[in-house]
Structure 1
């Protein structure tokens, strides 16, 4: 356990080194379709595992049992610093569920030398269903969202690793994801970098000129206004990346009206930024429309791809790697600085034509397979990591915004804007409508309980008025006994 002086020293080192530029070494890795994972060390002595970096949940959850496809997991009995709460917890995701038990132990990330070790709540998974992928190179996930989307149990609050970090440093922290995708046409492994940043330093960093507000601090809920296939005339004005870095640009800020019906449908349930999800998920009708436009564009470019690829998630394979000439995909996001402004993420085909396997000859038949990085999401909109590759994305949790800028690695994704509209996008797209939220329900219940208590107190005072008058006129005997409530509290503290 760290003493106060050690924590103070860590803080000095941590914040001093944050002022320096971070090394560009990758600390995120992943095989095709398996999101981005980072190496983590848990317990004393440290046990090294791989966890997915997930902005769609808030719990640090680790496998604690041997699975048929993997014998790598956390051994509880091997840690001398673990604390077992004895409480059972569970979680359900868009794909997969697990049950486990709540413990706390020390957590450290070997690749982030500036980030101190901290004791954190951990969910040890004891049983799961469709949660771990066959052959996955990871043993759990690191949830980086807000607390309401953590695991749950009876009368249990499961804290997050990032909240534990905030409390130890007594300072709110942000994080940045730099997702680079695959390195070259013949590689299916993708790479990236995770950094932990000081919120105050992030606020002063003017390089994140494109920011979208977090509309609801649960998941990272944002305002997605439109997703569409860009025409050649639109994409031709995009500035390409320079050799050293990528360039954001601003187009004509003339008024452009957002499709009211479309943006309402996109955000009807929720629109979230989720690094734990692979694809860009769209409401069913919009998915069909966007895919139809892409399919027609492919036909015009004489690219033969079957419908099973476009509509049913099947892979398409060729004997050589593909250099796609398909149009860009535009994602319009609400701007943080003004409610009548938005900006656009412009994603090249390398973002949404995902490499799922790359096998060169060398005695075997060469095969390069791809899948579409789009899928139907029912009523939900999810910007999975496919929408973040080629970009640097900062999540400022305390200030409630997500910052976007182009990157010096990955696909040639660009950002344009801001664009103006003639009226409030918040109102037009109904982004300010109250949504069902546990915090709102709790607050309402608290007010209801307060009113009931006040009424009951008034009735009680009325009924006890005669007794109070008698007590005023008769002196109370001095008691040498402790109150029952104090005795119960002492017993609880002693157990």
Structure 2
């Protein structure tokens, strides 16, 4: 009779200590359906705000006005260290726009004491449209991508926080996102961790790496997205040791899945990016419908009744109890950094793509009932492919901007996502999937200059040939001399015409 209370007390102590140990590592957090945000301190004295960690843009943008749903914002007049450039800037995202002004001030992160405070460009948002979500717990975003996807204005270059950090330290820095999702099936708040790393440190640790094909967004080569069969899952599981993926060379005959050229070309027709500021996995319309059809059929086979509005229209499905999903894994094949005929596979369990959006456990008190709601973590994206933070949960993802790669490894928190590979193919995936890396801006300028010089040379050659045509024609058509008289008469005729 006394065992149950003792066990219950032990469990409370254990989970309390576990939560405290996790809390020491967590500096990212977010409510259901919202991206991961971090606390930031701006100006002197510091004003603390929450900003989304966004790999889909490059600008540090902060609200500087009070909104109806959030009265927390940056007060420009309260900072003694701010510099106002007086220049107007703007930005447009896949969802929402804003306008504001460019300033610079000191920025540091209270949860990362080892990261030096740095002065950098900041966009103070003065007006926005569909940018801030209702009830969002954040006041801006921290762009971590490359400069070309930053805010813009007339004759204005808006620098990024990471570029300012690189310049101050005089060396390039990488960053790591460790996204852990929710802490339990009855919780809707997700947690994670952001670390700033020296490039040399990130290069030494083992992970699966995919190349950044274009240093603008984090553009990568997504070769396939499909629902895994039981056979694929069982073969892939043999390549792992515990929770860690083993780097095993797989011959073509041992490959689980052969890359389909048409599929990978459609996935990358516009661009494929890794974007922590986006929630879902966004796929081209036809591929989205194909993947969702397979998941829907698998759910029906498992006797899980879910309406089509959930699968195809982004609506939530709710139950009185939390769900333990037994749906198949989702496979995402990525181009390997080390060889253009290799790829590796992210294997995502249903906990990744069946997202918790609310978890209310009322235990029936006051006549109310418990409600646990979920949304599908996939959506149609036109012709675009976006790997939102749903893909990264349960993994540790390193972004090495200077070397141009993204590294993936398994994590000790979050869904049981795994990685397998690398798998070999018979030919270059860059060529088969039309992923040839675009030329850099400098190379494009040189190439343009070369083509311009070539065209000028060809025009000059054409003019020269035109001017020399009579002489050339005379030399070509001149017959062998039969007598001196004929030769002299022809020459005289020319002379006469000339005089």
TM-score (norm 1): 0.83
Residues 95 and 144 of structure 1: is their aligned pair in 2 closer, same or farther, counting only changes over 3 Å? same
SS in 1 for 2:95: coil
Which ranges of structure 1 fall in alignment gaps of 5 or more residues?
1-21, 453-495
Larger mean Cα displacement after TM superposition, 233-242 or 359-368: 233-242
> In the alignment, is the contact (CA less than 8 A) between 1:214 and 1:221 conserved in 2?
yes
Of 413, 416, 438, 1:412 maps to 416
State the partner residue of 2:288.
287
Residues 408-455 of structure 1 deviation map (CA, whole Å, 9 limit, x = unaligned): 0000000000000000000000001648x8777766777799999xxx
State the partner residue of 2:85.
85
Q: What is the distance in 2 between the residues matched to 1:43 and 1:450?
A: 51
State the partner residue of 1:264.
265
2:111 is the counterpart of 1:111: yes
Residues 114 and 239 of structure 1: is their aligned pair in 2 closer, same or farther, counting only changes over 3 Å? farther
Residues 32 and 429 of structure 1: is their aligned pair in 2 closer, same or farther, counting only changes over 3 Å? same
State the partner residue of 1:474.
none
State the partner residue of 1:371.
375
Q: What is the distance in 2 between the residues matched to 1:23 and 1:321?
A: 24
State the partner residue of 2:388.
384
State the partner residue of 1:275.
276
> In the alignment, is the contact (CA less than 8 A) between 1:346 and 1:413 conserved in 2?
yes
Residues 193-222 of structure 1 deviation map (CA, whole Å, 9 limit, x = unaligned): 0000000111122x22x1000000000000
Q: What is the distance in 2 between the residues matched to 1:420 and 1:451?
A: 41
Shift of 1:232: 1.1
Residues 301-352 of structure 1 deviation map (CA, whole Å, 9 limit, x = unaligned): 0000000000000000000000000000000000000000000000000000
> In the alignment, is the contact (CA less than 8 A) between 2:239 and 2:246 conserved in 1?
no
> In the alignment, is the contact (CA less than 8 A) between 1:239 and 1:247 conserved in 2?
no
> In the alignment, is the contact (CA less than 8 A) between 2:394 and 2:417 conserved in 1?
yes
SS in 1 for 2:386: strand
Residues 92 and 443 of structure 1: is their aligned pair in 2 closer, same or farther, counting only changes over 3 Å? farther
Residues 44 and 57 of structure 1: is their aligned pair in 2 closer, same or farther, counting only changes over 3 Å? same
2:435 is the counterpart of 1:431: yes
Larger % of helix: which? 2
State the partner residue of 1:356.
357
State the partner residue of 1:227.
225
> In the alignment, is the contact (CA less than 8 A) between 1:240 and 1:247 conserved in 2?
no
Shift of 1:258: 1.1
Q: What is the distance in 1 between the residues matched to 2:321 and 2:442?
A: 53
Q: What is the distance in 2 between the residues matched to 1:392 and 1:199?
A: 16
Q: What is the distance in 2 between the residues matched to 1:202 and 1:448?
A: 40
- How does 1:394-473 map onto structure 2 within 5 Å? 394-432=398-436, 434=438
Residues 338 and 89 of structure 1: is their aligned pair in 2 closer, same or farther, counting only changes over 3 Å? same
Residues 106-160 of structure 1 deviation map (CA, whole Å, 9 limit, x = unaligned): 0010000110100000000000000000000000000000000000000000000
- How does 1:122-161 map onto structure 2 within 5 Å? 122-161=122-161
Q: What is the distance in 2 between the residues matched to 1:439 and 1:367?
A: 56
Residues 60 and 445 of structure 1: is their aligned pair in 2 closer, same or farther, counting only changes over 3 Å? farther
State the partner residue of 2:348.
347
Q: What is the distance in 2 between the residues matched to 1:204 and 1:232?
A: 35
SS in 1 for 2:297: helix
Residues 347-374 of structure 1 deviation map (CA, whole Å, 9 limit, x = unaligned): 0000000000000024231000000000
> In the alignment, is the contact (CA less than 8 A) between 2:239 and 2:248 conserved in 1?
no
Q: What is the distance in 2 between the residues matched to 1:395 and 1:281?
A: 20
- How does 1:59-78 map onto structure 2 within 5 Å? 59-78=59-78
> In the alignment, is the contact (CA less than 8 A) between 1:225 and 1:262 conserved in 2?
yes
Residues 24 and 212 of structure 1: is their aligned pair in 2 closer, same or farther, counting only changes over 3 Å? farther
State the partner residue of 2:458.
none
State the partner residue of 2:216.
218
Residues 258-291 of structure 1 deviation map (CA, whole Å, 9 limit, x = unaligned): 1000000000000000000000000000000000
Q: What is the distance in 1 between the residues matched to 2:157 and 2:111?
A: 29
Shift of 1:253: 1.1
Shift of 1:175: 0.1
Which ranges of structure 2 fall in alignment gaps of 5 or more residues?
1-21, 456-499
TM-score (norm 2): 0.82
2:94 is the counterpart of 1:94: yes
SS in 2 for 1:350: helix
> In the alignment, is the contact (CA less than 8 A) between 2:239 and 2:420 conserved in 1?
no
> In the alignment, is the contact (CA less than 8 A) between 2:60 and 2:160 conserved in 1?
yes
Residues 242 and 26 of structure 1: is their aligned pair in 2 closer, same or farther, counting only changes over 3 Å? farther
